[in-house]
Amino acid sequence: MALAIIVTLEKELPDAMAAYTKAKAGKALARESDKLDTVVRRKNVPAITSMLSESQAALIEQLRADGFDPSKMRLPPEQWFPASDGVKTVRALQEYVAANLNDFKQPNPILRDLKASETLLAEAEKARVRFHFTKTDL
């Protein structure tokens, strides 16, 4: 399975989410997350990895699958961020990647992931829905 970093919304936006899901975004963001984190430091916007979170239910399920007892652990609360922060980040990254294509092995998948994320986050921002990025296996 391939690791992906996807956008998770606090409240469903079915039309926007359907288009995002169809784009199958996230693999390139996960693959290049270290390099993209370096870029955002220069652009003075939040890093994608700084906006990662997970639902407690998903964490509990994962811990049980890995043979741990989640009742004996303190699990972090799920964190939500303003969609405007995500929009700023993905736009800054799009601008940088587009201007520096040779810095990346496969810039086009990164740009596609960023565009799909931007579209969803812009809809979330209009609807005042918060978000976080989530690491997942696709």
pLDDT for the residue 71:
85
pLDDT for the residue 76:
86
Report DSSP letters for 34-94, one per residue.
HHHHHHHHHHTS--GGGGB---HHHHHHHHHHTT--GGGS-PPPP--B-HHHHHHHHHHHH
pLDDT for the residue 72:
84
pLDDT for the residue 16:
92
**DSSP classification of residue 129:** -
Residue range of the domain that includes 76: 3-137
pLDDT for the residue 2:
77
Count of domains in the chain?
1
pLDDT for the residue 116:
96
Q: Give me 37's structure tokens.
A: 């984190």
Return the HEC string of 78-112. CCCECHHHHHHHHHHHHHHHHHCHHHCCCHHHHHH
pLDDT for the residue 1:
60
pLDDT for the residue 66:
87
pLDDT for the residue 50:
96
Average pLDDT for consecutive 10-residue bins of the chain (138 residues)? 90 92 92 93 93 88 86 89 97 97 94 97 97 90
User: Kindly report the CA angle at 137 between 23 and 62, in degrees rounded to 5?
Assistant: 140
